[in-house]
Amino acid sequence: MSTATNYDAIIIGWGKGGKTLAAFLAGRGESVLMIEQSEGMVGGTCINIGCVPTKALVESAHRSADSSAPAPVRYLDAIERKNALTSLLRGKNFSMVDSHDTATVLMGRARFVGPHEIEVSAGAEIVRVTSERIIINTGAVPMIPPIPGLDGPRVVSSTKLIDETDLPGRLVVIGAGAIGLELAATYREFGSEVTVVDSVDRLLPQEDDDVAAAVREVLEEEGLTFMLGATVERVEESADAALVRLEGGDTLTADRVLVAVGRRPATDDLGLEAAGIALGDNGAVRVDEHLRTSVDGVWAVGDVNGGPQFTYVSFDDHRIVKDQLVGDGARTTSDRVAVPTTTFITPPLARVGMTEREAREAGRDVKVARKAIDAIAAMPRARIVGDTRGLIKVVVDASSDLVLGAALFCVDSQEIVNLVALAMRAGVTASELRDGIWTHPSSTEALNEVLATL
């Protein structure tokens, strides 16, 4: 085996935070090694198997809804469009790092053999590399619950499902979380019969009851069937289908069974013990608020550190590490305020800050502005788009007039929520949002009317 090559920085895994750091450091002339285990994952989860391909399918399902082409053809077209997009983005992501003279890309699987030494298996070849600065960015992998039969041929993860070229006639989704709901709604729109099973007895348990009920109503109107508070006992194979056996005797018959019950940090076989890098209780690499691991000069960014699993959080993680490498090192995870989320069902459900329930439980004096979208005269955008379903709910602190949180279940909510989040961070009051001058016809202008109800 050859001697180890030393780099100014090593990034393990081509995730959002890591690739951004790699390009930044290489852009400064530092020698940077990017290690990625799979050619098909250059650019990471988001662009290859996560956010981008799933949202491309959501969009394709809408665009083709009025087409006279048969459902399997519409679906296959959508898969091809999605594949073209991910392939384009993979190329762009590769050159984003590789175009720098001082960057080296090594395709292979990395594992620590010492605190600052890594072994990379690239086919038959094993390469040893060292650096005083190592960033772990290996992401997360699907959790597989201990249900017998999940190794069957018709049981798939989200990665596998969105790679299938045949539209499943009957799809059972285990898990009504972000992945489960988005893909259930998308495959329903393409024409699959979809049943969603969740062990919790209500949909979106973290949301206020009225918001969760509005979402459920819309999804059921679209033809989704929910079996909540249900326990999957096992999955069996018949000659031509999977049989999902539920506690209590019900059986669901499926062409595909999607398991979407969460994703766990990807730390298997990373050799963390050899490096003395500690894991937390949840199997994530343990980090402090500067994302430092228990070993000096080793950081963990993105899903692998057990933080919220969003691309933009991994991106913000990179800022925290960058600040230590080239700044004053002050930035931490606790600087994050009002981090928004959007679940891309139709219409999308966007959320930021506290729910009404959380605000009341926290003892806040709360005012709530709430309006159904079809009752908002000042939001013609919803009528133009042709989707007046949903509601907007804003939770406001009665004494300070500051926005505590919002649930936006409406067209364009993935955009409006960013404005509300910024208002929360900047201390803009609900009255100022109400009196804001917004473009017309836009969805933002709904805030004029909804907040006027306070």
Ligand X SMILES: Cc1cc2nc3c(=O)[nH]c(=O)nc-3n(C[C@H](O)[C@H](O)[C@H](O)COP(=O)(O)OP(=O)(O)OC[C@H]3O[C@@H](n4cnc5c(N)ncnc54)[C@H](O)[C@@H]3O)c2cc1C
Adjacent-strand bridge partners of 9: 32
Among 89, 122, 150, 200, binds ligand NAD (CB under 6 A): 200
Q: Which stretch binds ligand X (CB under 6 A): 50-58, 166-174, 185-193, 425-433?
A: 50-58
Indicate whether 232 belongs to the interface with ligand X (CB under 6 A): no
Does the active-site annotation cover 440? yes
Q: Which stretch binds ligand NAD (CB under 6 A): 91-99, 176-184, 271-279, 418-426?
A: 176-184
Is the Cβ–Cβ distance between 375 and 388 less than 8 Å?
Answer: no
The entry of ligand X, ligand NAD, none that residue 138 binds, CB within 5 to 8 Å by partner kind: ligand X
Indicate whether 199 belongs to the interface with ligand NAD (CB under 6 A): yes
Beta strands, E only, 230-321: 232-237, 242-246, 251-254, 256-259, 263-265, 298-300
Q: Which stretch binds ligand NAD (CB under 6 A): 18-26, 179-187, 233-241, 404-412?
A: 179-187
Is the Cβ–Cβ distance between 206 and 405 less than 8 Å?
Answer: no
- What letter does residue 103 receive in the DSSP assignment? E
The entry of ligand X, ligand NAD, none that residue 430 binds, CB within 5 to 8 Å by partner kind: none
139 among annotated binding-site residues: no
Bridge-based pairing of strands 117-122 and 155-156 is: unpaired
Indicate whether 260 belongs to the interface with ligand NAD (CB under 6 A): yes
29 among annotated binding-site residues: no
Q: At what angle do helices 71-98 and 51-63 cross, to 10 degrees?
A: 150
- Please state the closest distance from residue 266 (CB atom) to ligand X, in A: 5
Is the Cβ–Cβ distance between 150 and 254 less than 8 Å?
Answer: no
Q: H helices of 225-367, where?
A: 272-275, 311-326, 356-361
- Please state the closest distance from residue 175 (CB atom) to ligand NAD, in A: 3
Count each helix (H run) and each strand (E run) in the chain, helices first.
14, 24
179 among annotated binding-site residues: yes
The entry of ligand X, ligand NAD, none that residue 197 binds, CB within 5 to 8 Å by partner kind: ligand NAD
Q: Which stretch binds ligand NAD (CB under 6 A): 16-24, 159-167, 260-268, 279-287?
A: 260-268
Would you call 424 helix, strand, or coil by DSSP? helix
Would you call 206 helix, strand, or coil by DSSP? coil
Tally of CA atoms within 13 A in the half-sphere of 140 that contains its CB: 28
Residue closest to 54 by CA, chosen among 182, 243, 155: 182
Indicate whether 346 belongs to the interface with ligand X (CB under 6 A): no
Instruction: Rank residues 50 and 364 by Cβ distance to ligand X and give the closer one.
Output: 50
- Please state the closest distance from residue 14 (CB atom) to ligand X, in A: 5
Residues contributing to the annotated binding site = 55, 175-182, 262, 303
Q: What are the residue numbers of the active site?
A: 440
Residues contributing to the annotated binding site for NAD(+) = 175-182, 262
